[in-house]
Amino acid sequence: MGTVMQDQGTHHAPPPASHIPTVHDPEHDIDARSATIWVVSGSIVLFASLWVLLPIFLRVLAEEQVRKFDLVPATERVEVMEAQQLFLNGGNPKKKTIEQVLKEMVPK
C-alpha cells in the first residue's frame, strides 16, 4: 500500500495568549477519598436494593407458578405424563424403548 501525503500548509506561530490560564482549584478536583466513598456507598445501595428486591421477585415467581399450574387440571398433567412414558417405553413408530435407542447411539 502506498502512503498518502497530506498538504500541511504553512506553519504559523501559535496565537498570542489572550487570557491567563486559570489555576486548578484543588477543592473541586476529584480526590481518592470522595471517589472511594461514592463507590463504596453506591455498592452498598446497589446490594441493599437487590437484597430487598430478591424476596419480592421470588414471591411473584411463586405466585405466577401457582396461578399457571392451577389453570391446568391435574388429570391433564397425568394424561400427558402417561403418554410420554408410553412413547419412551416403546409406544412410538419404531417400537423401540429409550434404552434401546441409547444403546444404538453408543459407538462400539
Other beta carbons within 10 angstroms of residue 97's beta carbon come to 15
Tens digit of pLDDT for each residue in 39-49? 999 999 999 99
pLDDT digits (tens, 9 = 90+) for 93-103: 888 888 888 88
CA–CA gap between residue 42 and residue 26 (Å, rounded)? 24
Q: For residue 15, what pLDDT is reported?
A: 65
pLDDT digits (tens, 9 = 90+) for 20-71: 766 676 666 677 888 899 999 999 999 999 999 999 999 999 999 888 877 7
For residue 97, the cross-strand partners are: 89
CA dist 8 → 11, 16, 22, 85 (Å): 8, 21, 32, 81
Q: Which of the 8 DSSP states describes residue 26? A: T
Domain ranges of the chain: 34-71, 73-108
Largest CA distance in the chain: 94
- Residue 9 in grid coordinates: 500548509
